[in-house]
Amino acid sequence: MNGDPGARRPNILWISTHDINPDLGAYAGVWPGADAARTPNLDRLAAEGVRFDQAFATTPVCAPSRSALMTGCHPISIGTHNMRTKAVPPPEVRLLSEYFRMAGYYATNNWFTDLQVHLPGTAFDECSDTAHWRGRPDVETPFFAVFHGMATHEAQLYLADAEFDRITAGLPEAHRHDPASVPVPPYHLDTPEFRKAWARYHDLVSVMDAWAGGLLRQLDDDGLADDTIVVFWSDHGAGLPRMKRAATEAGLRVPMIVRWPARLAGGQVRTDVVHLADLGPTMLTLAGLPVPEHVQFSPLFDGEGRPVEQGEYAFGGRDRMDEQQDSSRTVRDERYRLIRHRHPDRSPLQYQHFADRFPTWRALRTAVNGEARQRAAGLVPDVMTPVQRRATGPGKPELEHTRGNDHLGAGVAARNHPQ
């Protein structure tokens, strides 16, 4: 696995966040409402690198998605598909960082390790909240450094006001969002709970952008920008109902940006359908290292940085989410998404202890209960719209197919919808 010991290998910096769609200014015109938040640092990164417009996670929740990214294998093939488990993958499966360490890289992780497997001792040189490429033994040692930002995690949307004010203290007033005017997608209720969550979501995307900008400045200060492959990505879609945990466009569509001034021309836009987990074999290929035979995803570039044509489809799905027992599979091409629900008799809004604490989930429960009371009184239910009922009903279609970019859910065609 060591390759050519005399070759100078590129450094690699991964900047990852939780729970966002392509809601960066760089995606304006590509993703609805992408320019709502101010994201100058990541917009600049996209202008200097390659922006992927149709990148998809394998799973709409963090740990299974990250397991795919770090192993190069679909979660369903190595047992990491159920959220909250400690799988034992086949013996040939290693974490990506292990391959880099065997090739002489200094590998760090700051600090998130929710990968669905027991973290082997060989995974990183340092794994802590202080892990940093600056800890490597000397400046000639290449590094693979991973930073996981928590600013946009769904739980942050619902912090107490004083705590939210604290973590957004550096955000200029002009960059804050007014709940009264923030757009709300049609599958969400137009209520104070959802408006506040959406306003905070865009505020936190800007906070995350400032954090990412700090890492990029450190790279510049160290004189490493030209020799370092920088990748920005999110693990899955936004942390709101019918998005996170749902095998929908909004659950799986993610931002993904790759910059390497030494080899990749800036300002490129890739519109082909790709998997987020393609990043693993891509990094190995760009570093001149072999991709193990068992890896199921594909390099996005060849060793010279030339684009590699991908397959026609991106595959994904969801399985158990903590106590939610459900399973769906989905496939996406450049134009359409098809979803097959394996349990159409189960509600898309099953109880989920972690998420049901949040005001948006409680607001949906209240609306469902309100319509039940209307029916009991012999009234026509009018608390929700048809799109909202579809997201909260007692069952769901066996099949759903939509236009690929229709994350708003207004154009769903269904078959075998439970009555």
Instruction: Say if 1 falls within a structural domain.
Output: no
Instruction: Say if 143 falls within a structural domain.
Output: yes
pLDDT category at 287 given cuts 50, 70, 90 is very high
End position of a domain, from candidates 311, 328, 361: 311
Q: Taking 70 as the threshold, does the pLDDT of residue 273 lie above it? A: yes
Instruction: Say if 257 falls within a structural domain.
Output: yes
pLDDT the model gives residue 404:
80
Residues 240 and 117 reside in one and the same domain: yes
- Model's pTM, two decimal places? 0.96
pLDDT the model gives residue 213:
98
pLDDT the model gives residue 412:
53
Mean of pLDDT values over 355-370: 98
DSSP state letters, 202-261: HHHHHHHHHHHHHHHHHHHHTT-GGGEEEEEEESSS-SSTTTTTS-SHHHHEEEEEEE-T
Q: Percent of the chain having pLDDT more than 90? A: 93
Q: Taking 50 as the threshold, does the pLDDT of residue 417 lie above it? A: no
Instruction: Say if 370 falls within a structural domain.
Output: yes
pLDDT the model gives residue 414:
54
Q: Taking 90 as the threshold, does the pLDDT of residue 222 lie above it? A: yes
pLDDT category at 70 given cuts 50, 70, 90 is very high
Domain that holds residue 351: 317-415
Q: Mean pLDDT, the chain, as a whole number? A: 95
Residues 64 and 188 reside in one and the same domain: yes
pLDDT the model gives residue 6:
45
Mean of pLDDT values over 351-361: 97
Instruction: Say if 286 falls within a structural domain.
Output: yes
Residues 253 and 144 reside in one and the same domain: yes
End position of a domain, from candidates 311, 345, 380: 311
Residues 23 and 148 reside in one and the same domain: yes
pLDDT category at 69 given cuts 50, 70, 90 is very high
pLDDT the model gives residue 241:
97
Instruction: Say if 161 falls within a structural domain.
Output: yes
236, two tokens: 């899955």
Residues 190 and 324 reside in one and the same domain: no
pLDDT the model gives residue 309:
87
pLDDT category at 415 given cuts 50, 70, 90 is low
**Model pLDDT for residues 304-329, shown as the tens digit of each residue:** 999 998 889 999 999 999 999 999 99
Instruction: Say if 3 falls within a structural domain.
Output: no
Q: Taking 60 as the threshold, does the pLDDT of residue 4 lie above it? A: no
Residues 232 and 363 reside in one and the same domain: no
Decide: 45 and 321 in contact? Cβ < 8 Å.
no
End position of a domain, from candidates 279, 311, 343: 311
Decide: 259 and 45 in contact? Cβ < 8 Å.
yes
What distance lies between CA 227 and its chain's CA centroid? Answer: 26
Q: Taking 90 as the threshold, does the pLDDT of residue 20 lie above it? A: yes
Q: Is the peptide bond before 361 cis (omega within 30 degrees of 0)?
A: no
Instruction: Say if 335 falls within a structural domain.
Output: yes
Residues 382 and 397 reside in one and the same domain: yes
Q: Give the CA angle between residues 116, 118, 120 to the nearest 5°.
A: 130
pLDDT category at 1 given cuts 50, 70, 90 is very low
What is the CATH classification number for the domain harbouring 36? 3.40.720.10
pLDDT the model gives residue 148:
97
Residues 59 and 23 reside in one and the same domain: yes
Q: Percent of the chain having pLDDT more than 70? A: 95
Residues 169 and 224 reside in one and the same domain: yes
Mean of pLDDT values over 217-224: 98
Residues 271 and 363 reside in one and the same domain: no
Residues 294 and 329 reside in one and the same domain: no
Which residues are CB-contacts of 10 (< 8 A; sequence separation ≥ 6)? 142, 227, 228, 229, 260, 262, 263, 286, 287
Q: Give bridge partners of residue 318 from the DSSP assignment.
A: 328
pLDDT the model gives residue 405:
73
Mean of pLDDT values over 135-141: 97
**Model pLDDT for residues 146-169, shown as the tens digit of each residue:** 999 999 999 999 999 999 999 999
Mean of pLDDT values over 44-54: 98
What is the number of domains present in the chain? Answer: 2
Mean of pLDDT values over 330-342: 97
73 labelled catalytic: no
- Coil, strand, or helix at residue 174? helix
Residues 227 and 355 reside in one and the same domain: no
Q: Which of 20, 62, 123, 231 does the annotation list as catalytic?
A: 62
Q: Taking 80 as the threshold, does the pLDDT of residue 419 lie above it? A: no
